[in-house]
Amino acid sequence: MDRRKVLSGGGAAAVAALAGCATAGAPSGASRTVFAVAQPTLPIVGTSEVFPVRRIYCIGRNYAAHSREMGSDPTREPPFFFQKPTDAVQIVPPGVTVDHPYPTLTKNYHYEIELVAALGKGGRDIASDRALECVLGYTVGLDMTRRDLQRAMGDEKKPWEIGKSFDRSAPMGQLQPAAKTGPFTKGAIWLRVNGELKQNANLDQMIWSVAEQISKLSRAFELMAGDIIYSGTPENVGPVVSGDVMEGHIDGLPDIRVKVV
Report the distance separating Cα 210 and Cα 229, nearest Å. Answer: 8
Distance of CA 112 to the CA centre of its chain: 11
Closer CB to Mn ion, 86 or 233, in the complex:
233
Closer CB to Mn ion, 218 or 233, in the complex:
233
Closer CB to Mn ion, 124 or 198, in the complex:
198
Closer CB to Mn ion, 133 or 143, in the complex:
143
From candidates 133, 143, 212, 227, binder to Mn ion by CB under 5 A: 143
CA dihedral 156, 160, 166, 168 (to 10 degrees): 130
Report the distance separating Cα 3 and Cα 49, nearest Å. Answer: 20
Q: Shortest Cβ distance from residue 66 to Mn ion (Å)? A: 8
Report the Cα–Cα distance between both ends of the chain, in Å, rounded.
44
Closer CB to Mn ion, 150 or 218, in the complex:
150
For Mn ion, the binding residues in 101-120 under the rule CB under 5 A are 112
Q: Shortest Cβ distance from residue 159 to Mn ion (Å)? A: 16
From candidates 233, 246, 248, 256, binder to Mn ion by CB under 5 A: 233
- Closest chain position to Mn ion (CB): 143
Residue 150 makes contact with Mn ion by CB under 5 A? no
Closer CB to Mn ion, 18 or 203, in the complex:
203
Q: Shortest Cβ distance from residue 170 to Mn ion (Å)? A: 10
Q: Shortest Cβ distance from residue 58 to Mn ion (Å)? A: 5
Contact footprint for Mn ion (CB under 5 A): 112, 143, 233
